[in-house]
Amino acid sequence: MSRSVSLGFIRNTVRERLISVLAGSKYGFRYIATESPAGDDVRVIDTTPITRVLPEPTTQLSGHRPTMQKSVLVLTGAVVDTITNYVYDRDLRFIGESSSWSLDHSVLRAPARPRPPRTVTYPVESLYLGTDAYYHWLIEEVPAYLQARRASPEARTIIRRSPPRYVVDLLQLIDEQYSEAPTYARLELLTFASKGAAIIPNEVDLQTLHDLRDSLELRTGQPRRFYVSRRDSGRYPANEDAVEAVVAQAGCEIVQLAGMSLPDQIALFAGAELVVGTHGAGLANLAWCRIAATRVVEIARTGQPNCFATLAELSALPYAVVTSAPQGAWTVDVDSLKRAIDPAVR
């Protein structure tokens, strides 16, 4: 047995034992659809298989849960933590499907158990649109919300108080009314969809986003070539000036997505001919690109998650990556970048 197989076997064995212990403990962790029979407080109203095998995660994601189906569930007596976006049942047992992470990883991330109000905050069937960092929100939260909304179109939407702009932008785009909930919200009925595997996109969620894009009236104009700059985030290569000179020579505009509305980001990527960008949340917008219509060049450091390569693969987008060693200052090889942008360059 190879070393990698041995370590994988040990990790999976420990994980399964941890899940078994936690599921039966006083903390009450449960999977209500994908790994155990549903209880009397839950109904599964829709299930869609994920047919494409998910890629192996990088070492950073060794704890992800490879979910191979998307389920829409109705939970009676739910409690939602609007900070973590986690869902609990009426006995405050954590519902595994409300997280895209494996149960053991979620346990490590989870805060103290919620302390919800004694009375029902929302006495009608509800949907919850979570908030998170932009990549996780767009790739994990939004598809799950839209899938639940499609299954229960009459349910009311709740979000957390003072949400990020992109959350409100989405609800305005689909003409959805909403209410802002307290930190802990007790719901008579909650309809929600299970999450996919952490960070790794899947074809069911991506198709959900494509359906949303195709339902909108977008003004994309002429196909655009652009470079997604991260100067505003402070996380960009040490030779960013040289990188910008290369992309400008290739006819790319330099754009910054911070402060750009969600509709404008959708239109920008839906009309893209070439997208060049450093590894970061802005490239989650590759989900809006049309099938086989956009070339993608990612600038990354060795060992970063391969999520954008997967997004490109799922939409048949020609993709190239320029990687740099993680040691020392992050410097991009501009000659490699030129060749990635224009393969004819030698």
Q: Does residue 302 register a pLDDT over 60?
A: yes
pLDDT-based confidence at 120, cuts 50/70/90?
A: confident
Enter the pTM of the model. Answer: 0.89
Residue 1: what pLDDT?
38
Please provide the average confidence, as pLDDT, over all residues in the chain.
Answer: 85
Strands 319-324 and 156-160: unpaired
Section 318-326 average pLDDT: 87
Residue 151: what pLDDT?
96
Radius of gyration of the chain from its Cα atoms, rounded to whole angstroms? 21
Q: What is the pLDDT of residues 8-60, one digit of tens each?
A: 555 555 655 665 566 555 557 777 765 555 678 998 899 898 888 766 554 44
Residue 15: what pLDDT?
57
Residue 234: what pLDDT?
72
What structural domains and CATH numbers belong to the chain?
29-214 (no CATH), 218-341 (3.40.50.2300)
Block residue for tokens 């990556």: 321
Q: pLDDT > 70: what percent of the chain?
A: 82
Higher pLDDT, 106 or 182: 182
Q: b or e along 11-22 (b: 16 or more beta carbons within 10 Å of the residue's beta carbon)? A: eeeebeeebeeb
